[in-house]
């Protein structure tokens, strides 16, 4: 989620019993709710560094412990200094270091749990495992979640009891929002074969026909993708996903990864027409967007470049294209992450749009001439 949402959620937690454990707990909750995104400092070394470290160790088990300790120590030192300089002494006693550590750990953990259901995903077990995990329920910015959090903080300020009541209402609304999106996401996956039509191929791996609730990547699909590039090979379905959109929890972007291409289609789960028998001339799959994805041996050679490894470690749906300059023999291989191809799920980190495309140029003898992120 974006940092505005994390901040508002930290303030909301400060109105629960966690915020009554002593002075400094609300400050600790707000700081801890944003602490994992300190990995943005990696951007000082360039986009590739940011992509390599974003939602990495600061969003894993070590991050929870380390960031909670640091946050608690900072708030404890500040409140201790306030007590030392206050005359008369503050009426509300400051929280103990142990309590600040507990609420800071809660704040960091909630940040990670709020990042996990987004289509961007997070690396839950880094640095022990660098796999990404995502549940695809939420966009990076959820306007309904922000509206509920803002309303809960603005209204009911007359008393502590009303603030606690509003915090409970907001948490219930958040749970309902997640529940509605989970149900809509499941329905979108169920309806996906309908919108792609009878030409949708069967799964490449029949054992993965039932899609898991939580997706993880990168996956070892190279053998399937290379085999599909050979003449006469039949295409098959590698993966299927439903990406949330910005405005409506009922509208989804369906991404079907085939062995030789990606097919994308917008779907509204409230569209009753998708559940009725197809009418004459009605064929929703005719408006499917198709992106080529050809993993030839040359593409695999380019994928061994260090920058390509960073990008492919991040990208969940990398579509590969190969362009050969007939005059010089130089080959340009470009990958685009299909999650962000249509701008439906935008990265909100200081407009880092160049994160979602990578290019590698190869000399005729296979040497890497250039590698970069962006167009």
Averaged over successive runs of 10 residues, the pLDDT of the chain (375 residues) comes to 95 90 92 96 91 95 97 94 73 88 97 95 95 94 94 82 90 96 95 82 75 83 55 77 92 92 91 68 66 90 94 94 93 93 46 74 94 85
d(CA 225, CA 68): 43
Q: Which residues make Cβ contacts (< 8 Å) with residue 277, sequence separation at least 6?
A: none
Q: Output the pTM of the full model.
A: 0.89
Question: Could you tell me if 288 and 265 are in contact, meaning their C-beta atoms sit under 8 angstroms apart?
Answer: yes
- CA 77 from centroid of its chain's CA atoms: 34
Which token pair is 304? 């061994």
Closest Cα partner for 142 from 345, 353, 349?
345
Distance CA(192)–CA(252), nearest Å, equals 10
Please count the other Cβ atoms lying within 10 Å of the Cβ belonging to residue 317.
23
**What is residue 285's predicted lDDT score, i.e. its pLDDT?**
57
Nearest residue to 107 via CA among 5, 6, 175: 6
pLDDT at position 277 is 64
Centre a 10 Å sphere on the Cβ of residue 354 and count the other Cβ atoms it contains.
14
Sole residue written with tokens 């972007």 = 253
- Burial of 79: CB neighbours in 10 Å, binned 0-12, 13-18, 19+: buried
């Amino acid at each position: 989620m974006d940092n505005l949402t994390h901040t508002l959620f930290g303030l909301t937690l400060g109105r629960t019993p966690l915020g009554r454990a002593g002075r400094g707990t609300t400050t600790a909750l707000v700081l801890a709710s944003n602490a994992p995104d300190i990995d943005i400092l990696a951007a000082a070394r360039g986009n590739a560094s940011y992509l390599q470290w974003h939602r990495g160790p600061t969003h894993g088990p070590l991050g929870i412990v380390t960031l909670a300790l640091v946050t608690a120590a900072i708030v404890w030192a500040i409140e201790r200094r306030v007590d030392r300089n206050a005359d008369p002494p503050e009426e509300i006693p400051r929280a103990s270091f142990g309590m600040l550590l507990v609420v800071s750990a809660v704040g960091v953990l909630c940040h990670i749990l709020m990042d996990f259901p987004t289509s961007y995903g997070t690396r839950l077990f880094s640095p022990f495992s660098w796999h990404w995990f995502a549940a695809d329920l939420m966009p990076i910015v959820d306007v309904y979640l922000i509206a509920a959090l803002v309303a809960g903080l603005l209204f009911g300020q007359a008393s502590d009891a009303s603030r606690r009541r509003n915090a409970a209402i907001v948490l219930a609304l958040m749970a309902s929002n997640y529940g509605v999106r989970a149900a809509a996401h499941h329905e979108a996956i169920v309806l996906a074969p309908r919108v792609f039509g009878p030409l949708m191929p069967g799964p490449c791996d029949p054992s993965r026909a039932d899609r898991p609730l939580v997706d993880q990547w990168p996956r070892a699909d190279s053998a399937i993708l290379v085999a599909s590039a050979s003449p006469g090979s039949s295409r098959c379905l590698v993966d299927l996903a439903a990406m949330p959109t910005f405005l409506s929890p009922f509208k989804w972007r369906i991404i079907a990864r085939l062995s030789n291409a990606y097919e994308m289609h917008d779907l509204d789960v409230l569209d009753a027409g998708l559940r009725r028998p197809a009418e004459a001339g009605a064929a929703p799959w005719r408006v499917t967007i198709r992106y080529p994805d050809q993993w030839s041996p040359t593409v695999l050679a380019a994928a061994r470049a260090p920058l390509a490894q960073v990008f492919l470690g991040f990208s969940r749906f990398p579509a590969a294209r190969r362009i050969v300059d007939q005059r010089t023999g130089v080959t340009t291989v470009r990958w685009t992450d299909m999650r962000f191809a249509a701008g439906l799920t935008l990265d909100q980190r200081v407009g880092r749009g160049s994160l979602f495309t990578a290019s590698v140029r190869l000399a005729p003898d296979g040497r890497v001439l250039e590698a970069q992120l962006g167009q």
